[in-house]
């Protein structure tokens, strides 16, 4: 288990959610924030959801 660098909650980086929001969050972690594997599923989801709302690159 790893402690999330954002909220401090421990999580399993092998078991991240598969929702579209989480996928965008993972992409951002890889390409923008460079913290993949250190942020929990819930934080990835909120990051992904914000990006989908405010970042044209991720709008569908
Ligand atoms: Zn978190």
Q: Is the pLDDT of residue 58 over 80?
A: no
Distance separating alpha carbons of residues 40 and 35, to the nearest angstrom: 10
Ligand 1 center–CA 15 separation, angstroms: 13
For ligand 1, the distance from its centroid to the CA atom of residue 26, given in whole angstroms, is: 12
Catalogue the long-range contacts made by 19-22 (C-beta closer than 8 Å, 24 or more residues apart): 19/45, 20/48, 20/52, 21/45, 21/46, 21/48, 21/49, 21/52, 22/48
Question: What is the 4 CA–ligand 1 centroid distance (Å)?
Answer: 5
Q: Find the 44 Cα to ligand 1 centroid distance in Å.
A: 7
Domain positions in the chain are 2-58
Query: What global pTM score does this model have?
Result: 0.88
Q: How far is the CA of 18 from the centre of ligand 1 (A)?
A: 16
The pLDDT tens digits for 1-40 are 999 999 999 999 999 999 999 999 999 999 999 999 999 9
> pLDDT class for 57, splitting at 50, 70, 90?
confident
Stretch 42-53: mean pLDDT, rounded?
A: 95
């Amino acid at each position: 288990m790893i402690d999330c660098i954002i909220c401090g909650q421990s999580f399993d980086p092998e078991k991240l959610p598969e929702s579209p929001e989480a996928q965008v969050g993972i992409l951002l972690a890889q390409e923008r924030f460079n913290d993949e594997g250190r942020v929990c599923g819930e934080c990835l989801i909120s990051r992904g959801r914000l990006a989908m709302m405010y970042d044209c690159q991720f709008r569908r």
